[in-house]
Amino acid sequence: MNVAIEDAEIQVESGVSCAVALKEALSGKKFKKTLACRCGGNGEGQVLDLSSPVPEDCASLSPIYADTPEGLDLLRHSTAHIMAAAVKRLFPSVKVTIGPSIENGFYYDFDFERSFTPEDLEAIEAEMKAIVAQDQPFERKVLSKAEAVDMFSAMGESYKAEIMEDLGEETFSVYTNGDFVDLCRGPHIPSTGALKAFKLTSVAGAYWRGDENKPMLQRIYGTAFGDPKALKQYLARLEEARKRDHRKLGTQLDLFSFHEEAGPGMAVWHPKGMLVRTILEDFERKEHLKRGYDIVQGPILLKRELWEQSGHYDNYRENMYFTDIDEQGYGVKPMNCLSHMLIFKSRVRSYRDLPMRYFELGVVHRHEKSGVLHGLLRVRQFTQDDAHILCRPDQLQDEITGVVRFVQDIMDLFGFEYELEISTRPDKSIGSDEDWDRATDALKNALDAIGLPYEINEGDGAFYGPKIDIKLKDALERRWQCATIQCDFTLPERFDLYYIGQDGERHRPVMLHRVVLGAVERFLGVLIEHYAGAFPVWLAPVQARLLTVTDAQNEFVEKVLAELKSYGVRAEADLRNEKLGYKVREAQLEKIPYILVVGDKEVEAESVNVRLRNGDNRGVKTPRETAEMILAESREPFERGGMSYSFDYACKV
């Protein structure tokens, strides 16, 4: 049979392996970096091991290279198998579970009687290198369910047997490398020797199948790349990420803390952290008012019947908290949409009243599993910059466009690049196919009209409507989900929302659920890591700190402090009887943007010596010149985006 392979077409005999066919058509360099192949082009068709025979009906064969996203995913999954083989060699009593590839690497979950130590990870890595050096081939075999269950049960691998029982398939494929056998659909790299660069990075706890009622396992994380240079670059980024960890910087900068006695996933905000939040939230309120939003607020507790009416009780209750008051069930709100619909419904609305835009910085609670809580990035209580727009269908595209433009302005202010995707109807959802199609088309049409590219994320929409997810990229090229726009025809129907149209009849509005920053806590966690704790001057809780050389300058410094505050600068003074170098270093560690040193010469000149947190020296300036410099830097990103800066919270001495 004839098979097309890239630019060539070759004659392939029946039963010939994919490896043989590809080797004939590809150059030696290309074949060397081929890890697997796909029967069919354009990213479609069955993915096969190189050892698999070319299917009889295969018209084209596409190589999967190590330096492509698909090849990297395959390489990492195979590395997870190699790691599991090494763990079994070193710790024969361990039970293996699952080991997938993930965005930046892979993991494998193990059931073991004791915790893995850093020394264990080093030993596992060394054993993996030995397995790689042995260049063990990955060999695939298909077994009947009974054969596979019997085999893994005899090996004591009860988790594998459970997986097969739950899947309910008649046959299963297993892969062997060396003396290690694993349940897997595949495909895999041709042999362990194809692995060129890998690193184990950490170990953490994980419940079996994410269920808190099931055994706690140990999850070993790692990463793998097609070449050592890429691995080295990734590990350097990882080290930089550790330095920027918002949990570490939150303590260093005295912004927030977490306490077991308060409960997991509940942040306690310290004065400086709360000041950053206040600046950010006040900015958001002003921007929303400028853009035609009304600020509203709803209760934290709402009757259970309301959550039943909305569909949250049937589709979202596992993420909610419920309580009883006077024998009446209440739900703690995980989002703010219900109160906003009640506001709309509180009086008759005309078509002339629409659109109505309700904005709330609402405190919400969601039951996140303890294993996924992570500093500010995953909490149980958070404040959401939530808004709901109720509009006529003919206004929908303009409203979606307006929200996207709003998000663009905010991302530009903070210096974030971003990507967009449209998430479509999930299996667990409410509403008619017609309404879902109308909502999805509206989101697509708005982005097409603006000219913004987007990907389709099938089946990941909210249970009541499709959504645009805007993923920002931070300084380390990591993606973070913050802003989202959800289009909803269903909840207005469930709550019988209507407006009186130009024809005097009742009409159903459309509702947009949207956030710009998302959870304020999460966004601040991302910001801390993006800026490595060095907030831009406009957002820094303390913009300037005055430092004295000796006590002789205290009186002058207090006068300068008052003057700076009068200009609207957030300033404070360090009058401690400490060495100047110590005080400068402390201010730098606290990421204070402007460090103003005052000695006898500065007192005589009625000025301050201006230093920046990065060590640059701006020379001697008067208090007024210093304030103008600070305020100009604060205003600059706002003026660039056509917004206004006006924050002048004072700091204490």
Can 388 be counted among the known catalytic residues? yes
- Cβ–Cβ under 8 Å, residues 422 and 466: yes
Query: What 8-state DSSP symbol labels residue 348?
Result: -
3-state SS class at 503 = coil
Distance CA 381, CA 387 (A): 18
With residue 25 as reference, give the H or E element that holds it: helix 18-25
Q: Which amino acid is at 389?
A: I
Distance CA 137, CA 127 (A): 17
What is the maximal distance between C-alpha atoms in the chain? 95
- Pick from 425, 172, 372, 158: nearest CA to 264: 372
Burial of 640 from C-beta contacts in 10 A (0-12 / 13-18 / 19+): exposed
Q: How many helices (H) and strands (E) does the chain have?
A: 20, 34
Active-site residue identified among 38, 366, 378, 613: 366
Distances (CA, A) of 561 to 120, 436, 616: 55, 59, 22
Distance CA 139, CA 182 (A): 11
| Structural tokens at position 434 | 């017609």
Distance CA 341, CA 545 (A): 47
For residue 187, cis peptide bond before it (omega within 30 degrees of 0): yes
Question: Judging by DSSP bridges, how do beta strands 544-548 and 571-574 pair with one another?
Answer: parallel
Active-site residue identified among 18, 337, 391, 651: 337
With residue 433 as reference, give the H or E element that holds it: helix 433-450
Query: What 8-state DSSP symbol labels residue 191?
Result: B
Can 58 be counted among the known catalytic residues? no
Can 513 be counted among the known catalytic residues? yes
As beta bridge partners, residue 303 has 330
For residue 69, cis peptide bond before it (omega within 30 degrees of 0): no
For 546-556, b where at least 16 C-beta lie within 10 A, e where not — what string? bbbbeeebbeb
Distance CA 336, CA 318 (A): 17
Can 384 be counted among the known catalytic residues? yes
Q: Which amino acid is at 28?
A: G
Active-site residue identified among 386, 469, 488, 574: 386
Active-site residue identified among 218, 384, 543, 553: 384
Distance CA 42, CA 370 (A): 41
Active-site residue identified among 277, 467, 565, 611: 467
Q: What is the CA radius of gyration of the chain?
A: 30
- Cβ–Cβ under 8 Å, residues 132 and 82: yes
Active-site residue identified among 160, 277, 349, 388: 388
Distances (CA, A) of 582 to 235, 251, 263, 386, 585: 33, 19, 37, 44, 5
Distance CA 191, CA 361 (A): 54
- Cβ–Cβ under 8 Å, residues 545 and 508: no
Distance CA 177, CA 192 (A): 8
Distances (CA, A) of 288 to 410, 598, 646: 12, 41, 15
3-state SS class at 630 = helix
Can 337 be counted among the known catalytic residues? yes
- Pick from 41, 21, 39: nearest CA to 31: 21
Can 367 be counted among the known catalytic residues? no
| Structural tokens at position 581 | 């170098």
Q: Which residues are catalytic?
A: 337, 366, 384, 386, 388, 467, 513
